[in-house]
Chains A and B, each alone.
Chain A
Amino acid sequence: MTSLLEKTARAVVTSHVQDTEAASIPNNSTTWWWAEENLTDRFSSIDSAAPAFEPATFADAAIQGVSYISAGRFACFKPVGLTSIVDAAADNVARSDLSHLSGSWRSSVRGGSRRLMKFELLEQAAKQLTRLIASGGVRANQDQLRNVGTFVTSFVVDGGPSPQIAATEFGAVEVAWVVGKSAVGAIFDDDGSYSVWAQDWNGDELFDLDLEDAMSTGLQETIAAQLCEMSTRVRLAIPAV
């Protein structure tokens, strides 16, 4: 028997393929209401509608129904009582390859499983850093802290991966974002120098650079692009420490 949740998911996926009107609906709450009200009774084979649809990618305990809703948008639903509600919505997936659907989602503000906004991620980072300082784990001076802060603030984005901050065995401050085997990080020494590194989805090194001056625009863009790509594969924020 097809559950209402699955029925809803399939209907929305089918809608994308068959109903061009869906693509013109703006990204606001009306969209999701419209989708829920109009699509729940229309579905066909999910495989034929969107071959790249990978429900397992979103197989979080609390969020199981993920549905492509229109060009550049998708949403996931969860059952509530006799109906379903939109639990998460996403954009920035309007790319030619449907496989992008498998990752780029951003939760709504509803529910406890949402991904965190930039300020919340920065606050977590600030707490990690102050706890390190308080514990004596780092001998951080003001310039070093300012460099860490500028780096973290520059690259943290809404719904992106959580920055993790730790002390190295030599007392330097390390910042890293890790999703699967892909990662971006930097190590800040107390003499003002720092190194920046990254590895791709396979865990292979992309770059490892020692720097003393401000980063070039090109390197900043490379790091931002790598983090953007990693963001598409984040499902849930790391719990606060």
Chain B
Amino acid sequence: MGLEFAPVPLFGFIELAELQQRWIERFPELTELQAVPSSADLAGGPQVQVFTGVPRLRVWAQGSDNGLLVQSQSDRLILNWRKQFSGGHTYPSYDVLRIEFERLWEEYSSFLGDRGFGQAVPSAAEYTYVNHIKLGPGEDFEDVLAIWTVPDNPLPGTNESTQFQLIRSVQSEDDTFPAQIVVIGGPQSVDGQRVLSLNITSKVLFATGGAPFDALDAAHALSSHTFANITTSTKHEEWDRE
């Protein structure tokens, strides 16, 4: 889950490093990375970007054996949960992660205030579900995805790879929260097991009204709803999911 906001001017590496001190006890393992470009800058496809001065940076702050990862830069705050670094713990649920993220957001905001940077002005909230759905013997996409069908007549050749992407726009009744859902799917092998990798990202814009965490809740609801509806009822029964 993440929030994107207007870039904080003059928020460089020194400030970014100092910011980490706000949560260093919970997230002690730090890694320096190049900043993620603004998502609006990526619209329209790849672009050549020319920088002057010091490149913008991002810091990864990782928790100890709990799978949590905080990513911070001058225009973004992101909290991830990664299974491979979770020390065997299960996914802690959205509600638990949201509490941690709200705390991080307060710490980021108070840091900006304390350092005289003013308030962060968010423009978008984003929530991504990453699912690895195991495919049993003989199972394929059509057994998992409600939107997938086998063609009436066979296709030529044999299947080498199947990947897909769906992009859907969502408009709330009062036009406050325009949103976009991006679903990316494809086969993967995890621990020798064939799986369908399904990433569902919902981004909600709210620059013109609303609170950041309302938008985050909306993004989570969209991703969750999409996952429920894009998967088959047979799989729901298998997972004991209503």
Contact = CB atoms under 8 A, between A and B. Distances in A.
Contacts of A115: 44
Contacts of B176: 146, 149
A154 interface: yes
Interface stretch (A44-52, A106-114, A206-214): A106-114
Contact of B43 (A120, A142, A145): A120
Contacts of A112: 44-47
Interface of A: 111-120, 122-127, 129-131, 133-136, 142, 145-146, 148-150, 152-154, 237, 239-241
Given A134-B7, A145-B208, A237-B43, 17 more contacts: A118-B169, A119-B179, A119-B180, A123-B124, A126-B123, A127-B40, A130-B123, A130-B207, A131-B7, A133-B6, A134-B121, A136-B118, A150-B175, A152-B208, A237-B44, A240-B41, A241-B40
Interface string B108-129: 0000000000111111100000
A214 to B, nearest CB: 13
B222 interface: no
A142, A146, A154, A241 pick with most chain B CB within 10 angstroms? A146
Nearest to B178: A122
Nearest to B39: A123
B44 A116 contact: yes
10 contacts: A112-B44, A119-B179, A122-B178, A130-B121, A130-B122, A133-B121, A134-B118, A145-B207, A145-B208, A153-B178
A146 B208 contact: yes
Contacts of A142: 209
A111 B209 contact: no
List of 6 A-B pairs having minimum Cβ-Cβ separation, nearest first: A149-B208, A112-B45, A126-B207, A134-B6, A120-B43, A130-B6
Query: Does more than half of chain B's interface fall in helix, strand or loop, or is it mixed?
Result: loop
Given A118-B169, A119-B169, A146-B176, A129 B207 contact: yes
Contacts of A145: 207-209
B151 to A, nearest CB: 14
B207 A149 contact: yes
Nearest to A131: B6
A154 B121 contact: no
Contacts, number: 104
Interface in B201-236: 203, 205-209
A127 B180 CA distance: 16
A119 B40 CA distance: 10
B80 to A, nearest CB: 22
B171 interface: yes
Contacts of B193: none
A123 B118 contact: no
A153 B43 contact: no
A154 B171 CA distance: 11
Contacts of B175: 149-150, 153-154
Contacts of A133: 6, 121
B38 interface: yes
Nearest to B47: A112
Interface in B177-194: 178-180
B85 interface: no
Contacts of A152: 208
A119 B42 CA distance: 13
A113, A124, A130, A150 pick with most chain B CB within 10 angstroms? A130
A116 B43 contact: yes
Nearest to B43: A120
Given A112-B47, A127-B40, A130-B5, A119 B178 contact: yes
